[in-house]
Amino acid sequence: MNSPPASTWKHAPGVRASLALLVVACILPVAAVASFLIVNFYNKERAQLIEHTVSRARAVIAATDHDIESTQLALQALSSSGMLLNGDLAGFHQRASGLVGKLRADSIVLLDTDGTLLLSTRRPYGAPLAKLGRAPLLQRILASGQPGVSDMFIGPVVGKPICTVGVPVVRDGAIVMTLNAILTPDRLLHVLTEQKLPPNWRASVLDTQGRVVTRSHDMAKYAGQQVGATLRQHLAGASESGLSTRTLDGQDVYVVYSRSPRTGWSAVLGIPRAELTAGLYDTLTWLVSVTIAALAAGMALAWLLGGRIARSVQAQP
């Protein structure tokens, strides 16, 4: 007596399941290897982008140093003027006024050693001028005898954020005054624009206290403001580094910076974090989609072939 074909239903699922497992075993390892290669490639590309951005930050701070040094040299030449040494301040005021444009400065000021403003090209000669409350740059020049650059502060004459480049005026071996060029944030903006950074990047030059000297976006709003405490802590440490942070205008960025050994100022470039990860996420999303599609197609084919194999086995005598 022939046995009934009651076990037919058992063969098909077994064959189909085996083929489905074979599909999974073939596709998932390939997808895993592809994911590893994609992530590894992304990490290398990201590292190269960051290193390239550090190089651009170095270029920004080098251009900033060059601007400051050029201004110092011009001021040193002007400080040797016979009118200044002979006490002809009215004549010196006229000459200095004619040089402001060449220095691309807001104005030129002359300071006594006690911080008294002797003249400013922003005011007619002889007009009353304020006495500086604090003058850290003046004190540094008097102590060292060397030119220097200040951090950002609110100028008593212009009433807005400025910095000053100053040189000593020496008479008979002693410093009797300092000659200073007043620089506004737009004066140094070119060191950022010349880098031709992507428009959605954030770029700034910061002073030693982490205050914005010049900025690529909303400069008038943020000039003179301090960046966040986390970034300031990093700036006080390594001369070059990078970190994830948020800009003053609320943008999530990966920041790289380079600090000048001459001035202590830093060039800071911020890459939007979304830009750093968008390529990876897009590629991984594509890979997951392709993997799911391949699995679905493989499963469908396994189900179809499994059924055929099961029926052929069942049909055998």
Domains along the chain? 44-67+187-275 (3.30.450.20), 79-184 (3.30.450.20)
pLDDT tens-place string over residues 6-26: 444 444 456 566 666 665 666
pLDDT per position as a tens digit, 99-145 = 998 888 999 999 999 888 899 999 998 888 876 767 889 999 999 99
Q: Give the pLDDT confidence score for residue 52 in this predicted structure.
A: 78
pLDDT digits (tens, 9 = 90+) for 176-215: 999 999 999 998 999 999 989 889 899 999 999 999 999 9
What local confidence, expressed as pLDDT, does residue 158 receive?
76
305 — pLDDT class (breaks 50, 70, 90): low
Asked if the model's pLDDT at residue 258 lies above 70, the reply is yes
Per-residue pLDDT of 211-235, as tens digits, reads 999 999 999 899 999 999 999 999 9
Section 155-168 average pLDDT: 88
pLDDT of residue 9: 43
Whether residue 117 contacts residue 111, with contact meaning beta carbons closer than 8 Å, is answered with yes
Percentage, residues of the chain above pLDDT 70: 71
Q: What distance in Å separates the CA atoms of residue 154 and residue 300, rounded to the nearest whole number?
A: 73
pLDDT of 166 above 90: yes
Strand order in the sheet with 212-215: 212-215, 202-206, 266-272, 252-259, 240-246
What pLDDT was estimated at residue 84? Answer: 86
- The average confidence (pLDDT) of the chain is 82
